[in-house]
């Protein structure tokens, strides 16, 4: 047998081996991207009903309706982003000192404290938020941006504190001591050494909190609605009303920060930070 025929057979073998792989990959891609494609189609569909596989008419008339002053979309987007930004600020303002203390000081109850931040997640959301709403109603926080931000911050603090703890744990305490030993006060050493080195992790936690806030529905619904409109509420009412065009366009608006998030996380989050989450 000559070398040429061998190599041909090997080539063929490789080609054949790729067939099932390609099929599985294609299927996987369809499972992941199929619904997204469906969503994209809905955003530009004017008329689309059963049994048609594709929309009958394409157009952007729904977009103009969504973005018209009466469409509430811009208002909701504004609210959503404002709440998300404020939630990030509140969460980080609490998570930076808390995470630093948990990482640096050998607190005896360290893991217990970390676990305590999970408690709001351990109970079913609905009763928790109903009670918060009742409480907020009494003190006049219901239907205010402040109220919604507080509810989101409770939720976001879990991520913020856990990731901040991991980020600060990843910074060698000797780096800070080196600054102290040549004349930096405690705050200065923290600002110049520990904080910049923990920044990638803190950025990641900020992004997590931002996205969680953007997506949050139950709390926004009970505390915010109907005075404070948020994108997920709009999505919900559109979806519940069978208006798939509006629901899809809203979903697409919510998708944009998610994709941006993935890109940023990929850049910022070092593996060694992630590996310390929960330590």
Provide the 8-state DSSP code for 54: S
Our finding on whether 36 is near another protein (CB under 8 A) is: no
Q: How far is the CB of 186 from another protein (least distance, A)?
A: 7
Q: How far is the CB of 91 from another protein (least distance, A)?
A: 24
Name which position in 20, 183, 226, 242 contacts another protein (CB under 8 A). 183
Q: Say how many Å lie between the first and final Cα of the chain, rounded.
A: 61
The residue (of 174 and 266) whose beta carbon lies closer to another protein is 174
> Phi and psi dihedrals of 5, rounded to 5?
-65, -35
Q: Evaluate the omega torsion of the peptide bond into residue 226 and state whether it is cis, within 30 degrees of 0.
A: yes
Q: How far is the CB of 275 from another protein (least distance, A)?
A: 18
Which of the stretches 6-14, 52-60, 186-194, 224-232 binds another protein when contact is defined by CB under 8 A?
A: 186-194
The residue (of 185 and 260) whose beta carbon lies closer to another protein is 185
Our finding on whether 115 is near another protein (CB under 8 A) is: no
Alpha helices in the chain (DSSP H): 3-43, 61-67, 73-104, 110-116, 119-122, 125-138, 145-169, 173-181, 186-189, 195-215, 218-219, 231-240, 244-268, 271-274
Distances (CA, A) of 210 to 33, 57, 67, 160, 207: 24, 36, 23, 10, 5
Name which position in 88, 96, 170, 179 contacts another protein (CB under 8 A). 179
Our finding on whether 180 is near another protein (CB under 8 A) is: yes
Contacting residues toward another protein, per CB under 8 A:
172, 174-175, 177-186, 188-189, 192-193, 196-197
């Amino acid at each position: 047998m000559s070398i040429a025929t061998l190599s041909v057979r090997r080539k063929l073998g490789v080609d054949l081996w790729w067939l099932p792989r390609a099929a599985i990959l294609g299927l996987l891609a369809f499972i992941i991207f199929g619904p997204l494609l469906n969503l994209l189609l809905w955003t530009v569909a004017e008329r689309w009903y059963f049994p048609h596989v594709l929309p009958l008419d394409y157009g952007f008339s729904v977009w103009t309706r969504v973005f018209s002053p009466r469409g509430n979309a811009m208002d909701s987007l504004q609210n959503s982003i404002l709440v998300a930004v404020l939630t990030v600020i509140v969460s980080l303002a609490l998570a930076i000192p808390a995470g630093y203390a948990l990482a640096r000081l050998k607190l005896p109850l360290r893991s217990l404290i970390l676990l305590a931040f999970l408690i709001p997640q351990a109970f079913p959301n609905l009763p928790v938020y109903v009670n918060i709403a009742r409480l907020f109603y009494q003190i006049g926080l219901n239907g205010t941006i402040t109220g919604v931000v507080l509810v989101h911050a409770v939720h976001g603090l879990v991520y913020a504190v856990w990731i901040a703890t991991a980020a600060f744990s990843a910074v060698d305490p000797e780096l800070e001591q080196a600054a102290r030993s040549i004349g930096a006060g405690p705050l200065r050493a923290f600002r110049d050494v520990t904080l910049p080195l923990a920044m990638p992790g803190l950025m990641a936690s900020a992004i997590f909190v931002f996205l969680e806030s953007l997506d949050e529905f139950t709390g926004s619904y009970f505390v915010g609605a109907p005075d404070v409109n948020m994108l997920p509420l709009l999505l919900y009412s559109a979806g519940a009303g069978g208006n798939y065009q509006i629901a899809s366009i809203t979903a697409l608006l919510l998708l944009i920060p998610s994709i941006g998030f993935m890109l940023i996380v990929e850049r910022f989050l070092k593996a060694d930070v992630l590996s310390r989450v929960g330590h």
